[in-house]
């Protein structure tokens, strides 16, 4: 880990000033869940802690600021991304931590960028952050206990469960589904089937 990574007690006040109380609690909880999962599956605990606390760092800034950060970062949104404003905070967050916070670690940057959609070929850290976001302590949805159980038994199985929920929910709401989410679903599914045989 290089000098580009600050201490947690520097990131906490930083994100606290960028979001409301609920989102701050969520961020801290995701960070804690990410460390637990990292311990269990052998990911880098420090990176999990940092990526977890920063993953939603751009969730509550105005939309035009999200778009500005994205374009300043040299990223051109595809047609689905242009029509899915919920995806912007993850992309903007990855640019923000790289260009404004000076985080150079590609794995942390990707864990933030793909925490909402997932993608094919995710690293262990990316999967840890994606899953931690679904099981953080304040989360309360009907299947959260099943999701938590799966998360601590088989990370890919938990990811599949989360993706099933998200993809079903998006199509029911007639919202665009990003190809990264579909690619992630297929990738996880095919790898799980391989593990079974």
- How far apart are the C-alpha atoms of 109 and 103, rounded to whole Å? 8
- Using rule CB under 6 A, residue 187 touches ligand DGI: no
Residue 27 interacts with, from ligand DGI, Fe ion, none (CB under 5-8 Å by kind): none
Between 168 and 195, name the residue whose CB sits nearer to ligand DGI: 168
- Using rule CB under 5 A, residue 180 touches Fe ion: no
- Using rule CB under 6 A, residue 31 touches ligand DGI: no
b/e sequence 38-72, b meaning 16+ C-beta within 10 Å: beebebbeebbbbbbbbbbbbbebeeeebbebbee
- How far apart are the C-alpha atoms of 62 and 11, rounded to whole Å? 21
Q: How far is the CB of 169 from ligand DGI (least distance, A)?
A: 7
Please give the residues from 152 up to 171 whose contact with ligand DGI meets the rule CB under 6 A.
166, 170
Q: What is the dihedral of CA 175, 114, 85, 138, to 10 degrees?
A: 90
- Using rule CB under 6 A, residue 84 touches ligand DGI: yes
Binding site for ligand DGI (CB under 6 A): 56, 59, 84, 86-87, 90, 115-117, 133, 166, 170, 175-178, 181
């Amino acid at each position: 880990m290089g000098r580009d990574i600050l201490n947690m007690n520097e990131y906490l006040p930083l994100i606290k000033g960028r979001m409301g109380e609920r989102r701050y609690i969520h961020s801290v909880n995701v960070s804690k869940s990410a460390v637990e999962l990292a311990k269990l599956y052998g990911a880098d605990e420090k990176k999990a802690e940092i990526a977890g606390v920063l993953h939603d760092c751009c969730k509550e800034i105005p939309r035009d600021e999200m778009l500005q950060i994205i374009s300043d970062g040299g990223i051109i949104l595809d047609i689905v991304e242009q029509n899915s404003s919920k995806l912007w905070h993850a992309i903007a967050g990855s640019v923000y931590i790289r260009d404004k916070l000076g985080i150079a670690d590609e794995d942390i940057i990707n864990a933030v960028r793909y925490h909402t959609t997932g993608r094919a070929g995710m690293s262990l850290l990316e999967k840890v952050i994606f899953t931690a976001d679904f099981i953080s302590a304040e989360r309360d949805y009907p299947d959260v206990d099943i999701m938590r159980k799966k998360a601590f038994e088989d990370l890919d199985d938990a990811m599949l469960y989360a993706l099933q929920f998200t993809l079903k929910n998006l199509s029911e709401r007639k919202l665009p589904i990003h190809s990264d989410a579909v690619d992630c679903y297929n990738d996880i599914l095919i790898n799980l089937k391989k593990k079974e045989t």
